[in-house]
């Protein structure tokens, strides 16, 4: 077996190079002749055929988890792009669709035959979920490439004429294992280089006339695996469609919304592991959206499984919150310190902030990386996909989505109004600050619930979501200022008689001013949206 745990300590992981592959595949008989490609519109000439022999070993789990999600991981030798290749799920349509298949492809150097590069593994950890990968198929391809050029010499596309021999590798066999049954076939692949998608339609007409047929498989690996390419019916990750439109049941509305957030979590997972900017924020936002939807529509579902998922999402949100909150605080204070004239006091204050908040960020990210490698996280991903694929809907929960979503939005709006009233009655100081923080959380929940309603109720629901988002953002600025002020009080003792203490005092005053500004903006935003967020919102 090949190890599947990537090293995630900051600075150790080299990112893979990547590009976008746009191609269409065709099945073709052995005796078919490649047509005159220079007859295509916009193609001035076809280059001389170039022949290469490629050998690729494909890796997957015992259950073919990667193949079931249209992900391919291979090590190829021969040709101009020898190395490790990881092809991620199609960006739009794939398989036997009439549309060109667009896939993100990542590359890494050849390295060792049996050791998948960490720079590729990081992109599939959320799919492998601790499972090991091993060689499953070996392909030998005799490829004849016909390059297509425009009148200005631009390399538009390549037509690859592939004669393929595939052999299955039994579990436990390595790259030198004997054959597990051979298949042979021929296929054509038309892949864009610098040309546009308008080339596909006339090319398909020409290729079909020459005997080609749209491919009956999404990839060479899928054809080699045959019926086993689907693994154990793992969902391909596509978002369900609201085919019933305005009459869609409420549970379907929730499923569509939740499915999109699951996709976001999976999409952000590699970026979080690689510490890419905004990835933690985006994943955390997706987690919050699912929690809000499940809370607002909880009566549609059996209580226990939904409560379990909500609890686990809360755990993940808290783990994501550690480094994210520290990152926001650090960026804020760096910005304020950078606005001050350089001095010894500013330098000392900056150093203290970096040690305090930077240390919190590092500790939080270390805990987050551990969480993303844990069985608990992988089980949560399983549970989320299980909810998406087979929601635990109560047998009596057959209400229409339009009606239930309106009720959920109205309930969330009432919740927001109550928290606003509580904030106006709260004593100035900590009680008032905490009350406004609750308003912010309730505005966020209303925003998310209104987003679900927008799937079936359209423009007005989107207006509600936008109004709630505006309040949430303003009160987010208020809360950030509160946190920054409290941190400044902690790191800068008021008993100190130093230049740094004076800087901290100045920054504290700045936070107080920003809190006042944010609260004034909130009152204005509240007045503007009062009519929109009244009783009976939708």
Q: Above 80 in pLDDT, residue 4?
A: no
The CATH 2.40.320.10 domain(s) of the chain lie at: 17-230
Over residues 326-342, the mean pLDDT reads 95
| The pLDDT of residue 268 | 96
What pLDDT digit, counting tens, does each position of 442-461 carry?
999 999 999 999 999 889 99
Confidence of residue 379 (pLDDT cuts 50, 70, 90): very high
| The pLDDT of residue 497 | 67
| The pLDDT of residue 150 | 95
| The pLDDT of residue 95 | 43
Residue 90 falls in which region: left (phi positive, over 0), alpha (psi -120 to 50) or beta: beta
Confidence of residue 228 (pLDDT cuts 50, 70, 90): low
Confidence of residue 102 (pLDDT cuts 50, 70, 90): confident
Over residues 51-74, the mean pLDDT reads 94
Confidence of residue 493 (pLDDT cuts 50, 70, 90): low
| The pLDDT of residue 2 | 37
What pLDDT digit, counting tens, does each position of 401-438 carry?
889 999 999 999 999 999 999 999 999 999 999 999 99
| The pLDDT of residue 245 | 59
The enclosing H or E element of 114 equals none
What pLDDT digit, counting tens, does each position of 138-159 carry?
999 999 999 999 999 999 999 9
Residue 264's contacts (CB-CB under 8 Å, 6 or more residues apart) are 282, 283, 285, 286
| The pLDDT of residue 178 | 42
Q: Above 50 in pLDDT, residue 31?
A: yes
Half-sphere exposure (Cβ direction) of 208: Cα atoms closer than 13 Å: 11
Q: Which of these, 66, 64, 58, lies nearest to 138 by C-alpha position?
A: 58
Q: Above 80 in pLDDT, residue 395?
A: no
Q: Above 70 in pLDDT, residue 337?
A: yes
Please, are residues 122 and 108 in contact by the beta-carbon 8 Å criterion? Answer: no
How high is the mean pLDDT of the chain? 88
Confidence of residue 13 (pLDDT cuts 50, 70, 90): low
Topology annotation, domain 17-230: Hypothetical Protein Pfu-838710-001 (2.40.320)
What CA–CA distance (Å, rounded) separates 336 from 347? Answer: 13
Over residues 267-285, the mean pLDDT reads 95
CATH entry 3.40.50.150 includes domain 245-529: no
| The pLDDT of residue 14 | 61
What CA–CA distance (Å, rounded) separates 535 from 233? Answer: 45
Structure tokens given for 471: 């309040």
Q: Above 80 in pLDDT, residue 232?
A: no
| The pLDDT of residue 536 | 55
What residues pair up with 149 in beta bridges, in sequence order?
A: 45, 155
How many of the other CB atoms lie within 10 Å of CB of 154?
A: 13
Radius of gyration of the CA atoms of the chain, in A: 28
Determine which of 8-22, 155-169, 516-530 has the lowest per-residue pLDDT on average.
Answer: 8-22
Q: Above 50 in pLDDT, residue 48?
A: yes
Please, are residues 58 and 170 in contact by the beta-carbon 8 Å criterion? Answer: no
Q: Above 70 in pLDDT, residue 231?
A: no
| The pLDDT of residue 217 | 87
Q: Above 60 in pLDDT, residue 97?
A: no
| The pLDDT of residue 191 | 94
DSSP state of 76: E
Percent of the chain with pLDDT over 70: 87
The CATH 1.40.20.10 domain(s) of the chain lie at: 245-529
Confidence of residue 236 (pLDDT cuts 50, 70, 90): very low
Confidence of residue 225 (pLDDT cuts 50, 70, 90): confident
Over residues 533-537, the mean pLDDT reads 63
Over residues 56-67, the mean pLDDT reads 94
């Amino acid at each position: 077996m090949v190890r599947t745990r990537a090293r995630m300590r900051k600075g150790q992981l080299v990112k893979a190079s990547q590009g976008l592959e746009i191609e269409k595949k065709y099945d073709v008989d052995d005796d078919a002749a490649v047509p005159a490609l220079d007859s295509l519109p916009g193609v001035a000439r076809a280059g001389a055929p170039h022949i290469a022999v490629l050998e690729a070993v494909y890796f997957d789990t015992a259950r073919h988890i990667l193949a079931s999600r249209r992900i391919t991981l291979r090590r190829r030798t021969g040709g101009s792009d020898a190395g490790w290749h990881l092809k991620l799920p199609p960006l739009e349509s794939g398989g036997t669709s009439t549309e060109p298949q667009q896939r993100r492809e990542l590359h890494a150097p050849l390295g060792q035959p049996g050791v998948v590069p960490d720079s590729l593994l990081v992109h599939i950890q959320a799919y492998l979920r601790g499972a090991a990968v091993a060689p499953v198929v070996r392909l030998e391809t005799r490829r004849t490439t016909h390059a297509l050029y425009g009148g200005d010499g631009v390399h538009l596309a390549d037509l690859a004429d592939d004669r393929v021999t595939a052999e299955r590798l039994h579990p436990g066999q390595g790259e030198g294992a004997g054959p597990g049954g051979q298949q042979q076939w021929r296929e054509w692949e038309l892949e864009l280089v610098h040309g546009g998608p308008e080339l596909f339609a006339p090319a398909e007409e020409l290729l079909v006339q020459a005997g080609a047929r749209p491919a009956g498989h999404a990839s060479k690996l899928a054809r080699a695996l045959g019926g086993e390419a689907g693994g154990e019916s793992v969902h391909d990750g596509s978002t369900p469609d609201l085919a019933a439109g305005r009459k869609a049941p409420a549970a379907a509305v929730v499923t569509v919304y939740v499915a999109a957030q699951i996709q976001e979590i999976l999409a952000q997972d590699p970026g979080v592991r690689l510490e890419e900017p905004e990835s933690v924020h985006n994943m955390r936002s997706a987690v919050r959206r699912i929690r809000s939807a499940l809370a607002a529509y909880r009566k549609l579902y059996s209580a226990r499984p939904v409560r379990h998922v909500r609890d686990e999402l809360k755990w993940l949100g808290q783990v994501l919150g550690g480094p994210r909150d520290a990152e926001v605080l650090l960026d804020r204070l760096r910005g304020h310190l950078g606005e001050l004239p350089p001095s010894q006091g500013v330098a000392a204050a900056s150093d203290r902030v970096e040690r305090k908040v930077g240390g919190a960020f590092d500790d939080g990210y270390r805990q987050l990386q551990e969480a993303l490698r844990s069985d608990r996280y992988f089980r949560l991903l399983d549970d989320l996909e299980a909810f998406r694929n087979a929601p635990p809907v109560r047998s009596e929960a057959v209400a229409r989505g339009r009606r239930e979503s309106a009720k959920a939005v109205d309930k969330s709006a009432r919740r927001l109004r109550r928290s606003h009233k509580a904030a106006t009655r709260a004593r100035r100081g900590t009680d008032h600050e905490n009350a406004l923080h609750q308003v912010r959380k309730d505005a966020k929940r209303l925003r998310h619930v209104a987003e679900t309603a927008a799937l079936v109720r359209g423009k007005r629901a989107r207006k509600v979501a936008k109004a709630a988002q505006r309040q949430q953002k303003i009160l987010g600025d208020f809360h950030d200022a509160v946190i920054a002020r409290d941190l400044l009080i902690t790191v800068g003792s008021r008993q100190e008689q130093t230049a740094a203490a004076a800087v901290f005092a100045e920054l504290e005053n700045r936070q107080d001013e920003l809190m006042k500004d944010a609260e004034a903006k909130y009152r204005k935003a509240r007045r503007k949206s009062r009519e929109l967020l009244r009783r009976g919102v939708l």
